[in-house]
Amino acid sequence: MSSFAVIRPARHLAGSLRLPGDKSISHRYAMLAGLADGSSRLENFATGADCASTLGCMEALGCTISREGEGAGGPMAVAVQGQGMRLRMPETALDCGNSGSTMRMLSGILVGQQFRAELRGDASLSRRPMARILQPLRAMGAEISAAAHDRPPLCIRGEPLRAIDYTLPVASAQVKSCLMFAGLFAAGESCIAEPVRTRDHGELALRAFGAEIEAAGPNRWRVRGGQRLRPIHAQIPGDLSTAAFFLAAAALIPDSNLVFDNLLLNPTRAALLDVLRGLGLQITVLHLEERHGELVGAIQARYGELRGATIAGALSAALIDELPVLAAIAPYSQEGIQIRDARELRVKESDRIASVAANLRAMGAEVEEFEDGLRVPGRQSLHGAELRAFDDHRIAMAFAIASLRAQGESRIAGAETARISFPDFFSTLEGIVQR
């Protein structure tokens, strides 16, 4: 049954936050740990349902996984006993839940195995197209089929793979990682390129586990087949995409002052901080270090009056997960925010362009909707409203933030979807809100 979250206006925000591990890194580390020769320990592993789906799939593929602190409201540590490059045939279909990350990236591993496997998801994931991985994987020799319109479930039979030279037609870090993983099982050397730079967690994770990934030009990488992976002991940095909601709240509510510890500051993700600085948020880096190739640090975020921004081109690709919350706070800015070149938002857990527009209009905002984005004028006054999560965790969290500055109380139906990425989102938000 759907649950409601009630959000009331905030006076300001204050406190320190140490967030669960980054989802993008947690997914990749769990998969590669399963392929490693030995036991890996992954501390501060992401607590959301999506990464739990990845762990469940790896267990079904023969990996022994133990969890410490699961469901306790604090950091979770995961130990993964790797099976080497040959996993075990699952007894039933692999359940990816709501996680497109799990389905897309794990497909790159399964095509290199010596058995049949089926990947399934929930109703939302079953509507999401998988053509972007199907075409290149088939070009590598994979036998992989999908339901109508290239949607899940996916049926995979492991076959000998050949190397590929492939340029992604649309930038996607998940598709890039999928093909790099498949390249580990291919005969020869694969070259993977992307039209614009995306998150590099796949490349960094592979190197952390001992694989050789070579740069072959701008946004182009070589992956040699036949490599083996070694286990690691890692502390995963806090999720920057989750921090985005709290950072946006600090930018939105006057007199706010938040400190984030152990936060991912990867340059391919730091575009968010640049955009928020440009909007007026005051950000100070308090500490910076490198772990397994990833930059990690502590930052302080203080309120500064929101100005405005245009987000387009490569910047839209870099901020694809953060765009909903930026659009949600746009009415409160001075100059408004325009987002273009973000058609990818149409095929996420919901049609995020339509979902954002619908909720903003419910709050009384003026919104212009494009096929590839939105224009939200600034200097608007919003009122509390009955809002919908649209079965999408990022929409639920984005409008919890937008509601903090609305006039009156808002109710978000389907708020339980936040558990997909951050089960403790609403309690964490309430812990820093001052009224």
Quickly name the fold that domain 4-19+237-434 has: UDP-n-acetylglucosamine1-carboxyvinyl-transferase; Chain (3.65.10)
d(CA 79, CA 198): 29
Within this chain, domains 4-19+237-434 and 23-223 share the same CATH topology: yes
Q: Is 267 helix (H, G, I), strand (E, B) or coil?
A: coil
Verify whether residue 321 is a known catalytic residue: yes
Order of all β-strands in the sheet with 143-147? 94-95, 116-120, 151-157, 143-147
d(CA 204, CA 47): 21
pTM of the model: 0.92
Task: Please name the residue ranges forming H helices in 291-392.
Answer: 314-318, 323-329, 352-362
pLDDT of 246 > 90? The answer is: yes
Per-residue pLDDT of 107-155, as tens digits, reads 999 999 999 999 999 998 999 999 999 999 999 999 999 999 999 999 9
Task: DSSP for 182-250, please give it.
Answer: HHTTEESEEEEE-SS----HHHHHHHHTT--EEE-STTEEEEETT--B---EEEPPBPHHHHHHHHHHH
Task: Decide if domain 23-223 falls under CATH 3.65.10.10.
Answer: yes
Per-residue pLDDT of 320-353, as tens digits, reads 999 999 999 999 999 999 999 999 899 888 999 9
Q: Which of 321, 351, 372, 424 is catalytic?
A: 321
Over residues 303-312, the mean pLDDT reads 95
pLDDT of 310 > 80? The answer is: yes
Write down the pLDDT at residue 196: 86
Write down the pLDDT at residue 69: 86
Q: Report the run of H or E that residue 264 belongs to, with start and end.
A: strand 257-264
Largest CA distance in the chain: 62
Domain residue spans in the chain? 4-19+237-434, 23-223
What's 36's DSSP letter?
B
Per-residue pLDDT of 66-107, as tens digits, reads 999 876 667 899 999 999 999 999 999 999 999 999 999 999
Range in 104-113, 253-262, 263-272 with the lowest mean pLDDT: 263-272
